[in-house]
Amino acid sequence: MIFKTEDGYTVRVFSSLYVDYGIEILDPNGQEIFYNPSYLSLESYGYRYEDEDGHDLEDGIAWSEDEWRVPAIEAAEEILECIQVTDDLGNLYA
């Protein structure tokens, strides 16, 4: 699934061969600035374990793309706050 932040970064969430979900962040020019194939824990992301009435489910229900949107963008924004993004010349992005 692919989402855009308000600042123009592209966030891609993907299932990998690992147990967890991966996240990739591209800058507004399309250059990869972060990639981790197991950044989002399966215990916290990707599945609901309660039905609409709050009853526990034996098997989880996978999140829809709409359910992924906010948590994926929030995770990307947390990452972006922690890293300094520079261009090829070492200039910091605004």
**What digits encode the pLDDT tens for the residues 12-26?**
999 877 678 999 999
- Does 6 fall in a domain? yes
Query: What is the DSSP secondary structure assignment for residue 30, as one 8-state letter?
Result: S
Per-residue tokens: 58: 């034996």
**Predicted local distance difference test score (pLDDT) of residue 77:** 93
User: What's the CA gap between 6 and 4, in Å, rounded?
Assistant: 7
- Does 89 fall in a domain? no
What's the pTM value of the predicted model, to 2 decimals?
0.79
- Does 63 fall in a domain? yes
The more confidently predicted of residues 83 and 36 is 36
- Does 61 fall in a domain? yes
Q: For all residues of the chain together, what is the average pLDDT?
A: 87
Contact (CB, 8 A) for 87 and 93: yes
Predicted confidence (pLDDT) per residue in 42-71, tens digit: 778 888 888 888 888 888 888 999 999 999
- Residues with Cβ within 8 Å of 44's Cβ and at least 6 positions away in sequence, in order, are none
Domain range spanning residue 47?
2-82
**Predicted local distance difference test score (pLDDT) of residue 17:** 72
Contact (CB, 8 A) for 81 and 87: no
How many domains, in total, are found in the chain? 1
The tokens 């999140």 sit on which residue? 63
